[in-house]
Amino acid sequence: MPTRYDALIDAVVKAGAGGPEDPRLTAYREQVRQQAYRITDEEVAALTAAGVSDDHLFHATTDEALKAGLERWRAGLAALEELE
């Protein structure tokens, strides 16, 4: 189901995909994508202690949360299309 936001969403997802991935954040990013509610203060503190900056953590968190939300939104639209 095409929407008026498709071009904007594609641009946002593409912009978030740029740059090299920090290997210290791979598991964290996956957890944000799948089970953000399970992330603990201790896990964030461990990443900070490993040298990940607060800014980098913030951007990784918002990037993954936005992508996950958009994936779920598109899945919802696809489900609605099947009902039509």
Position 30 in a domain? yes
**pLDDT the model gives residue 18:** 62
- The residues near 29 (Cβ < 8 Å, ≥ 6 apart) are 21, 60, 63, 64
State the Cα angle at 65 between 63 and 67, rounded to 5°: 70
**What is the number of domains present in the chain?**
1
| Containing structural domain, residue 61 | 6-14+23-83
pLDDT at residue number 73 = 87
- Model pLDDT, residue 17: 64
Is 38 a domain residue?
yes
Q: Is residue 47 part of a domain?
A: yes
Report yes or no on 1 lying in a domain.
Answer: no
- The predicted model scores a pTM of 0.78
pLDDT at 78: 87
Amino acid letter for position 84: E
Q: Is residue 37 part of a domain?
A: yes
Average pLDDT per block of 10 residues along the chain, 84 residues long: 81 71 92 95 97 93 89 88 84
